[in-house]
Structures are given as C-alpha cells and as structure tokens.
Amino acid sequence: MTEAAGKLTLVPTPIGNLDDITLRALKVLEAANTVLCEDTRHSGKLLAHHGISAPTRAFHQHNEHKVTEALITRLQQGEHMALISDAGTPGISDPGYLLVRACIEHDIEVECLPGPTAMIPAVVVSGLPSERFVYLGFPPQKKGRQTFWQELTEEKRTMVMYESPHRIEKALKEACEVFGEERQAVVVRELTKLHESFHRATLAELADQAQQGFKGEIVLIIEGKAHFEKRHKK
C-alpha cells in the first residue's frame, strides 16, 4: 500500500572532474533518504567532497536482482532514493535499467537528471556527424563479439562504443576487417581529465598507434557508412 509518494531519481555524476556535477544533482543527493551507489566507498569520496552526508547503500550488477524487490517496498512506503554509479549516467553501461523498469511496473515515479556521460562529449567533439549516431555500449568480450561487428557492416550512422584499454587494439583490428582500413575513427581518451586526448585517423592508422597502447578510459567512435560513402562520392 502506498502511504506517501516515493520516488527514484537517477543522478549523473562526474566522469573525471569532480566539478562536473549540477547544482540540482547536489540538492537531490543531499535530500535523498538513501543514495544507492555502485560502490559506496568510491561514491563516498564524491559525497564527502561536496559535504553530503546522506545514507548510502550498495546497488551494483552483482546484487541488483536480489535487492530490487526490497527497494521497491521502501519506495512504496514513501522513500526518496537517488541512484548513482561510479561515473556518468546510471543505466548507461551501468546498473539502473532493472530498477527503472521495476519502478515503472509498480507505478513509482522515476526521473533522471541531465548530466555527465562519456558518450556525448566524445561524439560531439569527434568531428564525425553527431546529428544521428548509434550508441553500442561495450562490444561483448568473447561470445557474440563477431556477431556484434557483423551486424554493423551496413550501419549508416556514426557508431559510438566504450572499450577497455586492454581490448582497444583488438577492437580496432576487428573494425578494420569489417569496415575497411580507410574508414575514419576517433579514439577519445580520459575525457575531462588531465590527459584528455582525441586521436582522429583512419582505422588502419589507429590500429597501428594502438600497438604502442592507448591508456585510460576510452570511447571509440567510428564513421558510419553514409558519411564514408559521401566522402568517397559513391
């Protein structure tokens, strides 16, 4: 039984620079009954940095199935919960989807504040068309990786994906095979951090550079077929 309206607010947090948090995000975190964190120790530092002392509770990919029902009960009892991940927007290659879906199923109000996410600044400054793009998350690590690439062969829009520094060389080589060596791409590294950098080149050149290693956090952007063909007037 709903005693008072509870609410879940997804709150984006900085992807590197602690100043990248909105005034509204700080107000919501301060006022929340509970802040659900992917990692309470990691987020504790962010909260302490901003003088926020709201109670925290772990919510991550290893316990989200188990705890969702109990969280729904508390939301139904009127709690206001905020959900944050380690960085960026919850639900974007981070936990969030399951809880949002459960809130919708139980008629609980759910909102997401606008704020940091790595894919948006990466695609906007890539220099590749940003009017239409497709976000692909992380390529599967093993099973399904070949299919992931094969399904993109005819993709017309700019492709945006996340990849770990350990697998970026492999990803660039695989992309070369699927899209050809001349396709433009951008390796975006360490957004908003000291060593932020953009590496704009062909897939073949980037695969070559990757042998020296691309360190840090990476967004990989690949030109879509439409722009490639326009440049080559096919």
Q: Give the interface with ligand SAM as residue ranges (CB under 6 A).
A: 15-16, 85, 87-89, 92-94, 117-119, 162, 164, 188, 190-193, 217-219
Q: Look at residues 138, 140, 126, 151 and name the one whose alpha carbon lies nearest to residue 222.
A: 126
Structure token pair of residue 97: 């989807």
- Partner residues linked to 143 by β-bridges: none
Instruction: Quote the least distance from Cβ 124 to ligand SAM, whole Å.
Output: 13
Instruction: Quote the least distance from Cβ 123 to ligand SAM, whole Å.
Output: 11
> Measured over all CA atoms, what is the biggest interatomic distance in the chain, rounded to whole angstroms?
63
- Partner residues linked to 13 by β-bridges: 88
**Contact by Cβ (8 Å): 134, 191:** no
Nearer to ligand SAM, 79 or 86 (CB): 86
**Contact by Cβ (8 Å): 12, 115:** yes
Q: Shortest Cβ contact with ligand SAM: which residue? A: 88
Q: Whole-angstrom Cα distance, residue 210 to residue 173?
A: 9
Nearer to ligand SAM, 114 or 180 (CB): 114
Instruction: Quote the least distance from Cβ 79 to ligand SAM, whole Å.
Output: 24
Instruction: Quote the least distance from Cβ 90 to ligand SAM, whole Å.
Output: 7
Nearer to ligand SAM, 217 or 223 (CB): 217
Nearer to ligand SAM, 15 or 110 (CB): 15
Is 110 strand, coil or helix?
A: strand
For 45, how many CA atoms within 13 A lie in the half-sphere containing its CB? 11
Q: How many CB atoms lie within 10 A of CB 127?
A: 13
For tokens 């316990």, the residue is 63
Nearer to ligand SAM, 216 or 226 (CB): 216
Instruction: Quote the least distance from Cβ 125 to ligand SAM, whole Å.
Output: 11
**Contact by Cβ (8 Å): 208, 198:** no
Instruction: Quote the least distance from Cβ 66 to ligand SAM, whole Å.
Output: 20
Nearer to ligand SAM, 78 or 140 (CB): 140
